[in-house]
Each structure stands twice: as C-alpha cells, then as structure tokens.
Structure 1
C-alpha cells in the first residue's frame, strides 16, 4: 500500500505501470486520475492545503479499510497539494485485486472518501480573487452507498 501526498507532479502512466509491474497474483487493476477542472473558464489555479502527517494517516486508514473490505492485493493513492493549474493531475487512485468487481468497487469507495472526507482544503484563484471551495451535497450523499 502506497500513500503519497506531494507537491510534485506525477506521471499517471508511469505510476500505473510501476503499480502493476511483475504482479502475477492479480486479475484486475482499476485506476482513476483527477484533473484540475476550470468550470467557469477563468480559473488561474487551484490551491490545495493539508495538514502534513494528519492527511497521510487519514488516507492510510481508509485505504486499509478498502484493502480489507475488498481483499485487495494493493492500493495506491497519490494526492497533490500546493498551487495547481487547470489541466494538471491533482490525484490518483489505483486498486489491484484478483477480480475486477472488487477493484472497481474499492476504487469508487476510495474516490468518494477522498472527495468528501480526506483533510484537504481547496481554494480557487481567479482574476476576481480567491474563494474556498464548499463541500457539495452530492459528494456527501455518495458516502451513503458504503
């Protein structure tokens, strides 16, 4: 299990190749990469803040829950912080399992958790100024599935 919270960019393809390399005990790898999206057409950057140590620990706990619940062979979570430009990868989740259903469900579970419960704070910076991104009811409601 790998949990990385970092300011540096990452290469999604290289991360995925490394994650699954030389594994003969898995039948499925599912990955998701989140990209900084400019929904209004004026986003200069997204500023992501976190509490070092606390954030990694919180993600590790939920990743371990997913690993146990779906009998995953491995889990990878990368989440960036700092200023990020539109179009930049912001995070990645990968799950590996003997079977695809478990890998898909676990990745979906992890994404719902990261979106609504992981201790990150996002601020959108535009020409008009900066504003914190509020939690969305749909993201909170998605956790009810689990």
Structure 2
C-alpha cells in the first residue's frame, strides 16, 4: 500500500495491517519520520510539502518493487504526508514485514534512502528569517548510492 495524503496516520493501525495474522511473518520493521523544529542552524516554524500527484506514487511503487526483488518481503506500507506540517508532526511512515529481521531492516532502510533521493517531493520551510526551499542533502545521496555497490 502506498498513500500520499494530508491527514495524519495511526501507527497502531499501520502495524496491525502489516501483521495480517500471517504466521510466516517473523519481523516487522517500521520507520516514522517527524518534522524537526530546526534545520541548517535555524529554527523552523513549519514545513510545506508539495508533490507531483501520480508521478510520486509511481516512483514509490518502483522503489517498493526494487526492494521486493532484493529481499523476501511479505508486505510493504508507505504513507507520506503533504501540505503544511508543524514541528513534531509525523511526515512519513515506512513499514515492512518479512520472515526474517535482516530482510525487514534492510528493505526498510533501502526504501527510505531511495524515497529521500528519488521521490518527487518539494519542501518549503518557514523560518524566523522567512521562507526557503530545502535542497537535497549530499548525505541522502551517499546513503542511496551505497545500495548500488
């Protein structure tokens, strides 16, 4: 399941959906990204996330398919929020279930690394100095590149 939405998500619901009462599942790994109140040395009051509808979901689906081709996964769930977010708001959920923890951990990290570098999201922060677009981080690119080796 891949969803891009404005509304918040419920971790218990998402965990239950990954579990599916399936006895072959031995591990569930989840990641939740939160909006921080700082970036590049400045206080951040809010973050506005935009995306390219349709294209974003297709890119995320491609990332999931790549993960499924590398690891034995039972289920994958991605929720990414858009719109105006405030500090401590949940931004992204990635959940992976698998028979083994190694596959689940690796796939969850892989999905996040490629989501950060390939998915068409644009971020505009509101700081005390005004609004600014957030550029991609070199560290995110480095994290994604390690999977290519």
Alignment TM-score, normalising by the size of structure 2: 0.93
Native 8 Å contact 1:67 1:74 kept in 2: no
Aligned residue in 2 for 1:34: 33
**1:114 equivalenced with 2:119 (yes/no):** no
1:135 and 2:124 correspond: no
Q: How does 1:1-146 map to 2 (within 5 A)?
A: 2-39=1-38, 40=41, 42-146=43-147
Distance 1:110 1:118 in 2: 10
1:77-121 Cα distance to aligned partner (Å, 9 max, x none): 100000000100000000111100000000010010111111101
Q: Which 5+ residue runs of structure 1 have no aligned equivalent?
A: none
Structure 2: gaps spanning 5 or more residues = none
State the alpha-carbon separation in 1 of the partners of residues 42 and 9 from structure 2.
25
Bigger mean CA deviation after superposition, 122-131 or 15-24: 15-24
Kindly indicate whether the alpha-carbon contact (under 8 Å) linking 2:113 and 2:143 is maintained by their aligned counterparts in 1.
yes
* CA positional deviation for 1:41: 6.2
User: How much does 1:21 deviate?
Assistant: 3.2
For 1:92 and 1:49, locate their aligned partners in 2 and report how far apart those are by CA, in whole Å: 17
Runs (4+) off by over 6 Å: none
Out of 39-48 and 87-96, give the one that drifted further: 39-48
Aligned partners of 1:16, 1:95: CA distance in 2, in Å? 9
Q: Is the 8 A contact 2:29 2:104 kept in 1?
A: yes
Please, what TM-score do these two structures have when normalized by structure 1?
0.94
RMSD (Å) for aligned C-alpha atoms: 1.2
Which deviates more, 91-100 or 121-130? 121-130
